[in-house]
Amino acid sequence: MRNIEKPIDKTLEDLGVTQPDEVATLFAEVRNEFDLDADKEYIEVLWKEFRDSWLGRKSGVLAHITNNWLKPASPTLKPAVGAALNELRAHVEAEVERRRVAIEQKEEQWALSGALYDLSLPGVQRPIGSHHLIRQVFQQIEDIFVSIGFSVVEGPEIETPYYNFEALNIPEFHPVRDDMDTFYLDLPKGAPTPLLLRTHTSPMQIRTMEKRQPPVRVIVPGKVYRRDNPDATHSFIFHQVEGLAVDSDITFCDFTGTIEYFVKQFFGPGVKTRFRPSYFPFTEPSVEFDVSCIFCGGSGTSPGSGTCSKCKGAGWIELFGAGMVDPAVYGFVNYDPKRVSGFAFGMGIDRLAMLKYQIDDIQVFFQNDVRFLKQFP
């Protein structure tokens, strides 16, 4: 190509070409030059250079020929130059493509023969994620309850005050609403009802009973929101599993038996359980459910420091609230309180997970720190 750089930079007139057969000779030289160039061994990068040096839109050989030979050619020479150029272009394009295909095939052969790639080397490792610990605990709880006949339902995280409070027997101005001071949504004026981020999963008790007739046995895993200031045990977003069982003959014994069964499955058969009287507007009687301290085995003491710091010496840890469904609640869903009875419970999953896996700061669940996440593959 070097020695045609000069002719292709000049016009035919400058080269003294006046006859069509001289045009043919000139093109034959260029083609010869191309064929020599095309005959070299190419790898992909060099092939690109080769292609551009001939076909490049601005400075490829064919572009020079178009500009310097074809465009300024005299009318007598133009047809011959045009025809010769087309023929040359077809030849160049076909050869350039043939080279590309050849390179591709060669690379494939190398790869297969092991010359270029060592197929026995370990591949690139792409780590696969795992379920977040909270999700894993949800699944453990679901498995336990599903195995004794409960089904899993989910509900909206944005609720109306009716479902979040009123239908759970928490009228406006009831003092327990203070504990659940919550996030209300900014709605346009004239919106039919205020909306809020649910403060607990209990609204799904109502939504479920509205839709289904007894027997009802459901658990409701989900996120809940409260205006709590973040610290080691509080977060404005956390997780609960609600439970509800309603039928014609459910007793307090069914209730305690179910809860105990669950806790022993979840923490292991060694834990002791106890119920304490408590108060919730939607259960009567209401209980607070405790397990023997998982850290000190219920003794209230720890070998080093004397008193167990987790249960503060009590030997018990408060786990969750529960109770027999208050007959007033049945009134909101058109169940006959004389014919049905049942129990409900609501547990904080973050708290259960912290106890089971000995985690002392709830914030780690929300920080997405892989060093934490990796510990629970």
Segment (H or E) for 241: strand 237-247
Residue 64 within binding range of ligand DAH, rule CB under 6 A: no
Q: Which of 169, 283, 292, 341 binds ligand DAH (CB under 6 A)?
A: 283
Q: Which helix (H) or strand (E) holds 110?
A: helix 78-113
Residue with tokens 């020695």: 3
The secondary structure element, H or E, covering residue 82 is helix 78-113
Handedness of CA 33, 37, 39, 40 (dihedral sign): positive
- Structure tokens that stand for 151 in this block: 């089904």
Beta carbons within 10 angstroms of residue 303's beta carbon: 8
Per-residue tokens: 182? 């919550």
Task: Number of helices (H) and strands (E) in the chain: give both, helices first.
Answer: 14, 11
Q: Does 200 bind ligand DAH (CB under 6 A)?
A: yes
Looking at residues 291 to 330 of the shown chain, list those that interact with ligand DAH (rule: CB under 6 A). Answer: 321-323
> Judged by CB under 6 A, does residue 340 bind ligand DAH?
no
For position 145 contacting ligand DAH by CB under 6 A, the verdict is: no
Would you say 195 and 187 are in contact if contact means Cβ atoms under 8 Å apart?
yes
Least separation, in Å, of the C-beta of 345 and ligand DAH?
5
For position 226 contacting ligand DAH by CB under 6 A, the verdict is no
Q: Which is nearer to ligand DAH, 287 or 308 (CB)?
A: 287
Binding ligand DAH (rule: CB under 6 A), the pick from 153, 218, 219, 344 is 344
Nearer to ligand DAH, 285 or 313 (CB): 285
> Residue 49 — φ and ψ, nearest 5°?
-60, -45
CB of 208 to ligand DAH, least distance (A): 12
345 binds ligand DAH (CB under 6 A): yes
Pick the binder of ligand DAH from 159, 242, 290, 350 (CB under 6 A).
Answer: 242
State yes or no: residue 169 binds ligand DAH (CB under 6 A). Answer: no
Interaction site with ligand DAH (CB under 6 A):
200, 202, 242, 280, 283, 321-323, 344-346
